[in-house]
Structures are given as C-alpha cells and as structure tokens.
Amino acid sequence: MKRQLAVLMVVIVSLISVQCGGTPPATEAPTPTEALATEAPATEAPTATEVPATEAPTATEVPPTEEPATLDGQSLLQERCTGCHDLGRVERSEKTEEEWKATVERMVGKGAQLDEAEQELLIKYLAETYPKAAEVPPTEAPATLDGQSLLQDRCTQCHGLGGVERAKKTEEEWKATVEHMVGKGAQLDEAEQELLIKYLAETYPQ
C-alpha cells in the first residue's frame, strides 16, 4: 500500500508540475494522459484482489444462468441442424413462421434433437432471419394513401387549407366535414376518406 501511495503521489505531483510548468500545450497533452494510464493500474490493483473474495460464495450460482445463454437460435441451428445436411437449404429458404414451424417439426420427426423450448426459439429465429419476402407488394399500395397527400391533392380544388388548419375537431366532426365535402364533389373513395379522417383527427384534434 505504501508503494502504491508513493506512486500516486508521484503521479499527482507530476500532474501538478506539468500543469504549472507552462510548457506549450502541444507537449503538455501527452503527459497527463500517460500519467493517468500509469495511475490506473495502481488504483485498480487493490480492488482486483478484493473481487475474488466477494465473488467466491456466488460462484456456485453461475452455472444455472449459463444454461439459457446457450439457447440462442443461431447456435441451435448450427449445432442441431447440420447433422444430416448443410445449412444451404435453410439459407435459401423464405418461409413464414408457420412454415418454419412445419419444417422444424418435420426435421424433429427425422431425428433432429430439440426439446419444445428449443424448437420454439429456433422457429422464431428462422422466421426472423429467413422470412417470406412475398408480402411486400400489397403493403406498397397503402403507402401512397397517406393522409397528408390526400389532403393536399383532394381538398384544394375549391378552397385553400387555411380553414382546415385553423379547425379543431373530434374524429366524429372531421368525419362529418369530409362527408360533407365529398357531397360537394371531393374525390375520395371509402378507404381514402377513412385515412384522411384519421389524419385530420390526429393533426387537428379538438
């Protein structure tokens, strides 16, 4: 401890002398960081030796928490699914969660070693990692149907949007306004009306 204190003192004194020494900033910069670097081990040393003593009683509790850690989808796939074939067919596959479930259950039927919990985990992992990409086009259609563009495209033929922007209405009231405007000639189908009403109620609420 005395030696460490002495080292600390030297470090502190050298830090102080560097700061008061008036050396140019360019050469000053490296010294404090070097000083800190050598300081760190000195202060860390005592805690490092103290840790094992407090950890010793809990050390026996560590193994149980390690078990779930091995249960990750990727390791399961690599450990349990490579006995009969490589992972090429898995990696080329695109399946929904339902379809992956069916595949995994079929592979378990063939002899893959996975308990219930492991199957569930692996199915989730597979469905997230190799998902079905076919459902993208349908989601593109509603993307063009956004409330703000509808408002700008379909509500500006007869008047500006000042009245809309100043208005504060409940969803019910916006519904009445939109239906009223459709009655006057605004061009919006059912789905567009619904979307616009939602948008208006969120953007200009009461």
Q: State the number of binding residues for ligand HEC (CB under 6 A).
A: 34
Per CB under 6 A, the segment of 4-12, 23-31, 36-44, 84-92 that binds ligand HEC is 84-92
Residue closer to ligand HEC by CB (options 11, 73) is 73
Residue closer to ligand HEC by CB (options 20, 158) is 158
Segment 99 to 128, residues that bind ligand HEC, using CB under 6 A: 103-104, 106-107, 110-112, 114, 122
Torsion sign (Cα): 166, 172, 175, 177 = negative
Applying CB under 6 A, does 129 fall inside the site for ligand HEC? no
Owner of token pair 């002899």: 111
From CA 178, how far away is CA 172, in angstroms rounded?
10
Enter the tokens of residue 24: 């140019």
Instruction: Write out the E strands in 97-182.
Output: none
Residue closer to ligand HEC by CB (options 9, 85) is 85
Task: Identify whether the C-beta of residue 126 lies closer than 8 Å to the C-beta of residue 95.
Answer: yes
User: What track of x and - describes contact with ligand HEC for positions 162 through 181 (by CB under 6 A)?
Assistant: -xx--x---------xx-xx
Output b/e per residue, 53-67; b: 16+ Cβ within 10 A.
eeeeeeeeeeeeeee
Kindly tell me which residue out of 80, 124, 132, 198 binds ligand HEC, with binding defined by CB under 6 A. 80
Task: Identify whether the C-beta of residue 127 lies closer than 8 Å to the C-beta of residue 97.
Answer: yes
Dihedrals phi, psi of 200, to nearest 5 degrees: -65, -40
Kindly tell me which residue out of 157, 170, 203, 206 binds ligand HEC, with binding defined by CB under 6 A. 157
Owner of token pair 């916006």: 174
Q: Smallest gap, in angstroms, from Cβ of residue 139 to ligand HEC?
A: 25
Q: Which residues bind ligand HEC (CB under 6 A)?
A: 80-81, 83-85, 89-90, 93, 103-104, 106-107, 110-112, 114, 122, 154-155, 157-159, 163-164, 167, 177-178, 180-181, 184-186, 188, 196
